[in-house]
Structure 1
Amino acid sequence: MIKELFRVRSAAIVGASRNTGKPGHVILKNFLRDFKGRIYPVNPNADRIEGLKSYPSISSIPYDVDLAVISVNETALPNVLKEAISKGVKFLVIITDIKNPDIKEKVLNILTNAESRVLGPSSIGLYIPKLGINTLFNPGERQGYPGYGGVGIATQSGAVGTLILDGLYNLGIGVSKFIGLGREWDITLEEIIKFFEYDEDTLLLTIYIENILNGRRFFEVVKEFTYKKPLIIYKGGREEPSRYAVLSHTGVMTDYKIFYGVAKQAGSILI
């Protein structure tokens, strides 16, 4: 089902805003600039945004929605997710960062057994130049966006991922697909690596990793991938300060020496 994420024809931007400083405004502008499908802004406090009709909720959109990009206050998130799942939205990109433990529990319960697939929460989302999908909320004047090419990117850190994008843009190297994984409450790094293995647009994959939750599965997936394509890995948490940064960001600490041995044995290139 993951491959259908890259065939979306309609997108709801939940939290779309007239305020140019809000992520929801930047994301909507990104879609308006490049996306060829149908775009539905969702904001209960606006009738129109950037010339498009704005809907008060996902459930009020009278059309099918393939993708919902969600950038709302965490207190509003549980109801937004319930509506999106009930409507049958196939993919949810949750930009919202969840800090409240009660809301976290509510969201996890809502996502249990849901048919919708989820990137996030705390995901910077997707950049797919071939389809005009861009959920990154860095404006173009501050962020380099490469054109279409053969490099795939998967990252557990939005900040590091955007630095990689900047570097490729400056080198004139194109990108097939960029995926910000966030907290991986549903779609995992291993699942995305497996997708890229068979993705015809991707000739090489680069990933940024902060932690591995299933070492054996990671080893198996990487080993299978490197039989077919090159895999470059950037690993956070090598030195003491960065280890604590990784712990604060993900809540998991990974021993670099163990990781290095596993990744090298699986055939990847570590940087």
Structure 2
Amino acid sequence: MSSTATQLDTLAAALADPDSDLNQIADLEDELVAARDTSLVPRLQEHLASAVDARNSYGRHVLCNILAATAGSKALPALLRAFAHDLGDDQDSLSAILTDFAHQDRAYARSIVLPWAAGPDPDLRRAALWLLGFVPEPSDFDLLADAVQDSDDRVRSVTVGTIGSHTKTTAQAIDLLTALLADRSPQVRVNALSSLGFARQPRTLSAIHRLAKDDSARVRAWVAIALSRFPTPEPASLAVLDLLARDSDAFVQEQAVAARKKLTARA
């Protein structure tokens, strides 16, 4: 067994032990990242899969960093599989690695995510639909229109953001996002509001305004946030913000007041 393989096994054992020395883990991680020993890739993938199965988010984080440094963008399938599992952490560093690799090798990334985005595994489907938003093509739209009919709220929710990447190139994207304001999931409605706020299409304003009376306080707050992103203060939008400023929920009130200040400053 090579010295780097021994180091990797030592690291994997330390990551599995909650009483391990974090400094030792950091040192081993640094050494393995610097080594970039491609012969370790299969072993790295095995240890990464074990960490995910054990719901070890820190282990996933460390092993993904080493795998990414060692294999580069070719590690994308294994990294995306690991990313697909919700272990309770924010995964900011891993999501940054994935988007960077997708941008580096767009064709390869699309060859991976397109089959998964239409596949039967809901975890992989969500992850693939998310990453597809960073390498969009007009031909994706039928797949996305199908995904927002999924029975899984989480699949629909992540798909909304990916549809948002098409709003500057596909008029249908705006129509679909507007329709999703009526989705049964508050999170889907929030995500649709966010995407429409960035799109800033005047024809969506009346649909956004209607959600000022939504049952969910989070949705009502996001009405204000979405309106704040529009370039000019429409009278109807200001009236909606005045209504939300009197909302029973303090967060909604706060967002409405902030949004009105932003819009009136642009007048």
TM-score normalised to structure 2 length: 0.36
Greater strand percent: which structure?
Answer: 1
TM-score normalised to structure 1 length: 0.36
Which structure has more relative contact order (CA 8 Å, sep 6+)? It is 1
Report the structure number with the largest CA radius of gyration: 2
